């Protein structure tokens, strides 16, 4: 008897969980606040500034979604997540959306029951070496000592790469990026390997940046993007199309500065549909018609976000590379808004 | 009269200087540092190591930079002042980010600063509703706050801005003073008992009625206990009192709080747990866990020595389980596992979860330390208490515990110091501890990326001051309570 009551309670709780999870949009609207899981601190992508306000390339997605859904980019509660806690935080409903430079992989998508809704940054693992080592290609790193973060996919990629090229290496295990940079500068390893964006940021802050080069080989695919829970397609669509609105805005030259003007004057029907002056796209998402305009006005288009946080004008100085628009040889591509 | 011969010297000779090698510094050096070949070698090696350390450390500290906007700027200043290749400490990071190390992301009370120091601009901007109201767009508020930040003085920004944690911190000393120093008036203990509710309200904000109604639960417990004590005896009426209090918290707490709040609305802006960080977080977790783990540890130690099978088994099981598991495991349980068991949306606070498990962890260790103290008491003390006709609790309170606790002071305090330092482990569950959490945040800023030692030294210094203070207090207490005339 007791047992069946207990099981009944459990299944009722599970049912309630399913129901509660099915309407993230309603939860967010009722709460008046978007809860966004972000990185505890990753240069350029997401970190609080000296005043405690979160800034960064990933954080901008949170702000854009909040602007689209709630009409105010500041109505976001940021939940800092570590590599260990991030997926639990999303699965348990602690956050509505996770934008934390997480790589889209098969098992995360299917086994962990998440939906990666877009790729906001195409990254890949690279190597940094000192110039006077005389190495110009990762294929010449046979026998090198390599500073590598333990317990990450980068460690596995590294092993695969060296095995595939019949080379050997000695790993120097490090715990985090700060330690890696320090060990590498102190000469404990010949090369430091992590995501290329991270290497660029580290190199930018070194006292003698000109003496270090990032080798041209990128040995892994790291498509980083925002993700939501399985089973709430409406919410996934809102995040996905908010992101695509930012990419499309760059393609059509809509910026945070000129968005109001473009909305009034543009004759391009697709732009008009994105900005809500024509058609009913917002209603199909369960939002009002100005959602796209608000998102762009709040954070700017994809190119603006990139340049403001990690682009060539910032100290990090990443080039667009794979993250250029498809019209400029990159992979950023928004499906048609119609 | 014949002249008297002097056989004995009438006055003392002045003492001679001892030989050079048997006096002063030389003697001390010979005896302590160069007494044999092994000691001589060790001394020389030690001197070399010290010299090497100083050679690197002193220039690094001498070249400290306090005013700079980024690590790169620090390096430029050092290179410009001391020449290329010179290294130096870049304390500018501490100067810029110390509020985060102390308070984490605890929000500054800009409404108060605006009202007290910028009354005209505040009124012009529309007062509270015009700037901080729920309907105001975030951009307006952020612009007002940025303007205020640029114009406010240090006192405004940091003392007024953080008045809630600062007041809670100052009152903490008032609350623990009667516990630490017996010379103070005993009535102050009432404030100590009220302090947890007060501190909760100051730190987390929200309606004042929540802690007040929660305290009423204790009043309910006390009332039930006093009414039933004579009929049912102490243990039964205490248990019934506890049940009544739990019923009060479960069923009466929410409606009574809501009712009082709607009748007499009074409260502070509420602050979320994830905005806590730095030493504020360490001290909140540390102090709560320390003060809760001592009574819990005492009960567990008594339980472990109890004659009752169930009580003993439960105590032993709890102590051995908790001591057998690393603290990190418990923290992960707090942050990850509990989430899976609770229905979604039923988020109970991460800091509270961490505090509970850290308290359990500390209590298990304290229990063993106190059991050591109990074991050291001669059997005669227990028998003397029995012979006086004291019951179990009276004997524990009046005879056993005062002696056992006195013996255990060094062990208890070192458990507390260890516990306080262990609070930095909460970084692994995504909380902003001062050592790793805040430092990771600071390093994620491109301005400070690559900085290594300075944040650690800063946080380490503060930890040292606090832990050294605790250690000194325990030594003072030991001397004060020393009665054995050894």
Q: Where are the beta strands (DSSP E) in A118-235?
A: 121-123, 125-130, 144-149, 169-174, 191-195, 212-214, 222-229
Please tell me the predicted confidence (pLDDT) of residue B22: 79
Interface probe for A, chosen from B446, B448, B459 (most Cβ of A below 10 Å), is B446
Domain that holds residue B468: 275-485
Please tell me the predicted confidence (pLDDT) of residue A268: 92
Of B134, B160, B186, the residue at which a domain comes to its end is B160
Residue A322 CB partners (closer than 8 Å, separation 6+): A122, A330, A331
What total of structural domains would you count in chain B? 2
Q: How far is B122 from chain A (nearest CA, A)?
A: 21
Distance CA B335, CA B327 (A): 12
Report CA-CA distances (Å) from A219 to A20, A121, A130, A157, A191: 41, 16, 19, 7, 14
Is B336 among the domain residues? yes
Is B378 among the domain residues? yes
Distance CA A247, CA A296 (A): 10
Is B345 among the domain residues? yes
Q: How far is A125 from chain B (nearest CA, A)?
A: 19
Segment A211-236 mean pLDDT: 92
pLDDT tens per residue, range B42-83: 999 999 999 999 998 999 999 899 998 888 899 999 999 988
Tokens in use for B374?
């109990």
User: How many helices (H) and strands (E) are present in chain A, helices listed first?
Assistant: 14, 13
Of B120, B144, B160, the residue at which a domain comes to its end is B160
A13, B105: Cβ pair inside 8 Å?
no
Closest Cβ–Cβ partner in B137, B274, B452 for A72: B137
Three-state SS at B97? helix
Measured on CA atoms in the order B97, B80, A201, A321, is the torsion positive or negative? positive
Tokens in use for B469?
């203070």
DSSP character at residue B343 = P
A202, B339: Cβ pair inside 8 Å?
no
CA A86 to chain centre: 13
Tokens in use for B56?
């690197």
Three-state SS at B344? coil
Q: Are B151 and B281 in the same domain?
A: no
A85, pLDDT greater than 90: no
Residues of B in contact with A17 (CB under 8 A): 343-344
Please tell me the predicted confidence (pLDDT) of residue A1: 35
Per the DSSP assignment, residues forming a β-bridge with A77 are A35
Is B199 among the domain residues? no
Residue A307 CB partners (closer than 8 Å, separation 6+): A313, A314
Report yes or no: B133 at the A interface, CB cutoff 8 Å. Answer: no
Distance CA B349, CA B355 (A): 10
Per the DSSP assignment, residues forming a β-bridge with B331 are none
Identify which has the larger pLDDT, B150 or A336.
A336
Segment A143-151 mean pLDDT: 88
Average pLDDT over chain A reads: 88
Residues of B in contact with A43 (CB under 8 A): 443-446, 449
Inter-residue contact A59 to A290 (CB < 8 Å): no
Q: Is A284 exposed, middle or buried (0-12, 13-18, 19+ CB in 10 A)?
A: exposed
Three-state SS at A226? strand
Please tell me the predicted confidence (pLDDT) of residue B486: 55
With tokens 């008045």, the residue in question is B163
A182: left (phi over 0), alpha (psi -120 to 50) or beta: alpha
Distance CA B132, CA B114 (A): 11
pLDDT tens per residue, range A254-278: 999 999 999 999 999 999 999 999 8
Segment A84-96 mean pLDDT: 87
Report CA-CA distances (Å) from A221 to A33, A114, A138, A224, A310: 34, 19, 16, 9, 19
Q: Tell me which residue of B186, B190, B118, B101 sits closest to B157, measured CA to CA.
A: B118
Inter-residue contact A86 to B429 (CB < 8 Å): no
B59: left (phi over 0), alpha (psi -120 to 50) or beta: alpha
**Full set of structural domains in chain A with CATH:** 24-120+225-327 (3.40.190.10), 124-222 (3.40.190.10)
Q: What is the ipTM of this complex?
A: 0.79
pLDDT tens track, chain B, 486 positions: 566 666 777 788 888 888 877 778 888 888 888 888 999 999 999 999 999 999 989 999 998 999 988 888 999 999 999 888 888 899 999 999 999 999 998 988 888 888 888 888 888 877 777 777 777 777 788 888 888 888 888 888 888 889 999 999 999 999 988 888 888 888 888 898 899 999 999 999 888 888 888 889 889 988 988 888 888 877 788 888 889 999 988 888 888 888 888 888 888 888 888 889 999 999 999 999 999 999 999 999 999 998 889 999 999 999 999 999 999 998 888 877 776 776 665 667 888 889 989 999 999 999 999 999 999 999 999 999 999 999 888 899 899 999 999 889 999 999 999 999 999 998 888 788 999 889 988 988 888 888 889 999 999 999 999 999 999 998 998 888 877 655
pLDDT tens per residue, range B366-410: 999 999 999 999 999 999 999 999 988 889 989 999 999 988 999
Three-state SS at B440? helix
A41, B137: Cβ pair inside 8 Å?
no
Q: Residue B414 sits in a domain of what CATH number? A: 1.10.3720.10
Q: Are B151 and B279 in the same domain?
A: no
Please tell me the predicted confidence (pLDDT) of residue B345: 57
Report yes or no: A317 at the B interface, CB cutoff 8 Å. Answer: no
DSSP character at residue A75 = -
Distance CA A265, CA A243 (A): 23
A50, B97: Cβ pair inside 8 Å?
yes
A-B Cβ pairs (cutoff 8 Å, strict): 121
Q: Are B156 and B279 in the same domain?
A: no
Asked which of A13-22, A319-328, B111-120 is least confident by mean pLDDT, the reply is: A13-22
Tokens in use for A102?
């997480």
Three-state SS at A103? strand
Q: Which residue of B has its CA nearest to A27?
A: B345
Is B228 among the domain residues? no
Closest Cβ–Cβ partner in A50, A79, A182 for B452: A182
Please tell me the predicted confidence (pLDDT) of residue B117: 82
Measured on CA atoms in the order A223, A225, A229, A235, is the torsion positive or negative? negative
Please tell me the predicted confidence (pLDDT) of residue A219: 92
Is B189 among the domain residues? no
Distance CA B248, CA B383 (A): 41
Tokens in use for B331?
């923290």
Q: Tell me which residue of A302, A296, A305 sits closest to A261, measured CA to CA.
A: A296
Of B138, B160, B182, the residue at which a domain comes to its end is B160
CA A28 to chain centre: 21
Report yes or no: B440 at the A interface, CB cutoff 8 Å. Answer: yes
Report yes or no: A319 at the B interface, CB cutoff 8 Å. Answer: no
Report CA-CA distances (Å) from B80 to A206, B366, B451: 17, 55, 19
Report CA-CA distances (Å) from B376 to A315, B126, B311, B453, B480: 64, 69, 22, 45, 20
Distance CA B97, CA B87 (A): 22
A140, pLDDT greater than 80: yes
Q: Is A255 exposed, middle or buried (0-12, 13-18, 19+ CB in 10 A)?
A: middle
Per the DSSP assignment, residues forming a β-bridge with B476 are none
Interface probe for A, chosen from B107, B138, B148 (most Cβ of A below 10 Å), is B138
Distance CA B204, CA B268 (A): 8
DSSP character at residue A256 = T
């Amino acid at each position: 008897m007791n047992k069946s009551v207990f099981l009944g309670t459990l299944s009722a709780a599970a049912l309630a969980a399913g129901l509660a999870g099915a309407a993230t949009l309603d939860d967010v609207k009722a709460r008046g606040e978007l809860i966004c899981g972000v990185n505890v601190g990753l240069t350029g992508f997401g970190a609080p500034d000296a005043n405690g306000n979160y800034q960064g390339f990933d954080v901008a997605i949170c702000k854009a979604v909040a602007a689209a859904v709630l009409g105010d980019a500041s109505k976001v509660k940021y939940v800092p997540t570590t590599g260990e806690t991030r997926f639990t935080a999303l699965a348990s409903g602690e956050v509505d959306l996770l934008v934390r430079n997480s790589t889209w992989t098969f098992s995360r998508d299917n086994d962990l029951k998440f939906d990666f809704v877009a790729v906001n940054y195409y990254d890949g693992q690279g190597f940094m070496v000192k110039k006077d080592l005389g190495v110009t290609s990762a294929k010449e790193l046979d026998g090198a000592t390599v500073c590598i973060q333990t317990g990450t996919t980068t460690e596995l990629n590294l092993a695969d790469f060296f095995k595939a090229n019949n080379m050997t290496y000695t790993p120097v295990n490090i715990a985090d990026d700060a330690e890696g940079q320090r060990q590498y500068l102190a000469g404990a390893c010949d090369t430091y390997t992590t995501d290329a964006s991270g290497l660029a940021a580290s190199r930018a802050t070194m006292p003698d940046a000109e003496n270090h080069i990032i080798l041209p080989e990128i040995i892994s695919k790291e498509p980083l993007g925002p993700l939501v829970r399985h089973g709430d397609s409406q919410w996934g669509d809102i995040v996905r199309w908010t992101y695509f609105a930012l990419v499309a805005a760059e393609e059509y030259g809509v910026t945070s500065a000129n968005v109001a003007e473009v909305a009034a004057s543009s004759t391009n029907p697709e732009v008009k549909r994105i900005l809500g002056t024509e058609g009913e796209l917002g209603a199909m998402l369960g939002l009002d018609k100005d959602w796209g305009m608000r998102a762009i006005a709040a954070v700017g288009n994809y190119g603006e976000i990139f340049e403001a946080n990690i682009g060539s004008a910032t100290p990090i100085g990443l080039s667009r590379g794979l993250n250029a628009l498809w019209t400029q040889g990159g992979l950023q591509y928004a499906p048609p808004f119609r | 009269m014949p002249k008297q011969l002097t056989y004995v010297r009438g006055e003392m000779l002045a003492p001679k200087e001892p030989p050079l090698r048997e006096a002063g510094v030389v003697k001390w050096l010979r005896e302590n540092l160069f007494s044999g070949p092994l000691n001589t070698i060790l001394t020389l090696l030690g001197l070399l190591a010290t010299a090497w350390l100083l050679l690197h450390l002193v220039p690094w500290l001498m070249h400290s930079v306090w005013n700079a906007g980024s690590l790169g700027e620090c390096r430029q200043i050092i290179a410009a002042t001391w020449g290329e290749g010179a290294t130096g400490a870049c304390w500018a990071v501490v100067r810029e980010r110390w509020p985060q190390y102390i308070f984490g992301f605890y929000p500054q009370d800009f409404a108060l600063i605006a009202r007290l120091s910028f009354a005209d601009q505040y009124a012009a901007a529309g007062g509270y509703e015009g700037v901080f109201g729920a309907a105001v767009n975030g951009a307006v508020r952020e612009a007002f706050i940025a303007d205020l930040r640029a114009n406010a003085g240090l006192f405004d920004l940091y003392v007024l801005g953080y008045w809630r944690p600062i007041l809670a911190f100052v009152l903490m000393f008032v609350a623990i003073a009667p516990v630490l120093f017996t010379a103070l008036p005993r009535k102050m203990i009432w404030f100590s008992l009220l302090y947890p509710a007060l501190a909760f309200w100051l730190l987390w904000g929200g309606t004042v009625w929540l802690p007040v109604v929660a305290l009423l639960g204790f009043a309910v417990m006390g009332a039930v206990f006093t009414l039933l004590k004579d009929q049912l005896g102490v243990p039964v009426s205490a248990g019934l009192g506890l049940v009544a209090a739990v019923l009060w918290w479960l069923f009466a707490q929410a409606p009574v709080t809501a009712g009082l709040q709607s009748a007499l609305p009074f409260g502070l802006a509420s602050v979320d747990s994830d905005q806590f960080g730095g030493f504020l977080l360490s001290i909140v977790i540390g102090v709560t866990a320390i003060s809760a783990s001592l009574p819990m540890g005492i009960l567990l130690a008594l339980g472990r020595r109890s004659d009752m099978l169930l009580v003993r088994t439960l105590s032993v099981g709890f102590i051995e389980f908790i001591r057998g598991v690393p603290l990190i495991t418990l923290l992960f349980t707090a942050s990850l596992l509990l989430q899976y068991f609770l229905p979604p949306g039923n988020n109970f606070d991460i800091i509270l979860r961490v505090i509970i498990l850290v308290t359990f962890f500390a209590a298990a260790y304290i229990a063993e330390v106190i059991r050591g103290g109990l074991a050291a008491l001669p059997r005669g003390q227990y028998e003397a208490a029995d012979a006086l006709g004291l019951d179990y609790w009276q004997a524990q309170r009046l005879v056993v515990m005062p002696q056992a606790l006195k013996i255990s002071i060094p062990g208890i305090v070192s458990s507390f110091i260890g516990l306080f330092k262990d609070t930095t482990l909460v970084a692994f569950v995504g909380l902003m501890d001062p050592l790793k959490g805040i430092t990771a945040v600071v390093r994620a800023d491109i301005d400070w990326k690559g900085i290594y030692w300075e944040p650690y030294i800063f946080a380490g210094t503060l930890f040292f001051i606090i832990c050294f203070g605790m250690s000194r207090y325990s030594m003072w207490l030991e001397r004060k309570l020393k009665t054995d005339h050894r």
